[in-house]
Amino acid sequence: MKLIKIILAMAGLVATPIVTIAGEDSQLTINEEPFVTSVAAPAHLENVDTIYSGWTFRTDETQALQMDDFDNPAFVFIDQAIDTFNAVDGSAGKACVSCHESPEVFKGLRASMPRVNGSGELETIPELVNNCRTERMGAEKWKWSGGKMAGMIGLIGLQSRGMTVDVAINGPATSMWEKGKELYYQRVGQLDMSCSNCHEDNYGNMIRADHLSQGQINGFPTYRLKNAKLNTIHGRFKGCMKNIRATPFKEGSDEFKALELYVASRSNGLMIETPSVRN
Ligand code: HEC
Ligand code: HEC
């Protein structure tokens, strides 16, 4: 623990000694529906007793933005995605709605992703979307963190809002989950730090002006006030790796997919909050 403080200090990141969970006693409601934001950690987590939604660690003002869809800036992009869902694109002359009656058919999907498919491949929502675009619509792939993709995965994720995260980690997922776990605990970059150094050992502490969370992904894609757009899971992983001066993996890479599976499994028991709001 001491070593980590020294490393944080070296990086100009000041950690305060007392762990505080600011919003521990505050209740997240969205459109007046109550949400579970802390719960006993899943059995596979060895070093953490309770898991907390990232919402818990944000300021009152940021928290409030997520509590009403009229105030939540993410909905601008969700509304655009509804238009995209209904718009014909590509050589087959089809729209998403030509085959999927409405976004609501995707209810439940987000809560179980990523998952291993029948061919033993780990699949993520952006890949499922792009697969439909290239194989079924004759349309171009969307960029992983581009505006169209982020909006569409926001719209798909929203259908599972309030559902409990339940990502499978056994059977065919085991080897990829283990690879993700390894990456989570692996020290990298000039600062020689792992995800766990911040999000497991130091959650609740301050890093510069930022209140460190457990780095959960149950609210993604997330609207960030910092860049005023929807941010994807792999986009966030990339940002954290850059902050410790490591060379980030590519969005959509096997490494980030395995890491996503592992990090998602650390949220097992929390609720999907897509689209969340962060600083
Ligand atoms: C020509 C028909 C067709 C079009 C157009 C199409 N899809 Fe699909 N899509 C399918 C089929 C078939 C499947 C696989 C079976 C299923 O899960 O419904 C699928 C699967 C999916 C899945 C995975 C669902 C699951 O539960 O596993 C997602 C997400 C998805 N499509 C999103 C989209 C989006 C977004 C668009 C528009 C950009 C789109 N699709 C366009 C036919 C289509
Ligand atoms: C130097 C400390 C540090 C390291 C190491 C680090 N992060 Fe972060 N991370 C942050 C800070 C600061 C934030 C913004 C505040 C927060 O939500 O914790 C953040 C945010 C996140 C979030 C968004 C959480 C939310 O609720 O919106 C995720 C996900 C995340 N990190 C994942 C990772 C992963 C995966 C790794 C390892 C590849 C990693 N982080 C490494 C500091 C770090």
Element (H, E) at 39: strand 38-40
Q: Residue 142 sits in a domain of what CATH number?
A: 1.10.760.10
Residue nearest to atom 21 of ligand 2 (CA): 215
Mutation test of ligand 1: which of 91, 96, 100, 153 has the most ligand atoms closer than 8 Å to its C-beta?
100
List the domain range (segments joined by +) for residue 231.
2-70+162-278
Task: Tell me how far the alpha carbon of residue 158 lies from the centroid of ligand 2, in angstroms.
Answer: 22
125, 180: one domain: no
Write out pLDDT tens, residues 210-238. Answer: 999 999 999 999 999 999 999 999 999 99
21 — pLDDT class (breaks 50, 70, 90)? low
Q: Is 96 a catalytic site residue?
A: no
253, 187: one domain: yes
Which ligand is the nearest neighbour of the Cα of 56? 2
Predicted pLDDT at 13: 53
195, 240: one domain: yes
> Which residues, 6 or more positions from 277, have their beta carbon under 8 angstroms from its beta carbon?
58, 62, 65, 66, 72, 73, 74, 222, 223, 224, 225
Q: Does any ligand 1 atom lie closer than 6 A to the CB of residue 141?
A: no
Closest by CA position to 233, among listed 173, 157, 160, 159:
157
**Three-class DSSP category at 142:** coil
128, 261: one domain: no
55, 186: one domain: yes
Q: Which of 158, 180, 199 is the last residue of a domain?
A: 158
Mean pLDDT of 42-59: 96
Task: Tell me how far the alpha carbon of residue 20 lies from the centroid of ligand 2, in angstroms.
Answer: 17
Distance set, CA 53 to CA 95, 122, 173, 195 (Å): 35, 25, 24, 16
Q: What is the pTM of this model?
A: 0.94
Q: Does any ligand 2 atom lie closer than 6 A to the CB of residue 275?
A: no
26 — pLDDT class (breaks 50, 70, 90)? confident
Predicted pLDDT at 15: 45
Instruction: Give the position, in ligand 2's atom list, of the atom nearest the Cα of 55.
Output: 26
53, 81: one domain: no
Q: Which of 106, 125, 158 is the last residue of a domain?
A: 158
240, 256: one domain: yes
11 — pLDDT class (breaks 50, 70, 90)? low
Instruction: Give the position, in ligand 2's atom list, of the atom nearest the Cα of 194.
Output: 5
- Could you give the number of structural domains in the chain? 2
Instruction: Give the position, in ligand 2's atom list, of the atom nearest the Cα of 243.
Output: 1
Predicted pLDDT at 24: 55
Q: Does any ligand 2 atom lie closer than 6 A to the CB of residue 62?
A: no
Closest by CA position to 7, among listed 232, 256, 192, 170:
192
Q: Does any ligand 1 atom lie closer than 6 A to the CB of residue 150?
A: no
Task: Tell me how far the alpha carbon of residue 27 lies from the centroid of ligand 2, in angstroms.
Answer: 23
229, 111: one domain: no
41, 144: one domain: no
Mean pLDDT of 54-71: 95
Q: Does any ligand 1 atom lie closer than 6 A to the CB of residue 152?
A: yes
209 — pLDDT class (breaks 50, 70, 90)? confident
177, 273: one domain: yes
Q: Does any ligand 1 atom lie closer than 6 A to the CB of residue 149?
A: no
Average pLDDT, the chain: 92
Whole-number Å distance between alpha carbons of 279 and 79: 22
Predicted pLDDT at 22: 52
Mean pLDDT of 3-17: 48
With a cut of 80, say whether residue 248 has pLDDT above it: yes
Mean pLDDT of 186-202: 97
Predicted pLDDT at 17: 37
10, 61: one domain: yes
154, 252: one domain: no
Mean pLDDT of 103-128: 97
Residue nearest to atom 37 of ligand 2 (CA): 195
Write out pLDDT tens, residues 153-180. Answer: 999 999 999 999 999 999 999 999 999 9
Q: Which of 134, 158, 182 is the last residue of a domain?
A: 158
Instruction: Give the position, in ligand 2's atom list, of the atom nearest the Cα of 212.
Output: 18
Residues 50/123, Cβ–Cβ less than 8 Å: no
With a cut of 50, say whether residue 133 has pLDDT above it: yes
Predicted pLDDT at 208: 83
Q: Does any ligand 1 atom lie closer than 6 A to the CB of residue 137?
A: yes
3 — pLDDT class (breaks 50, 70, 90)? very low
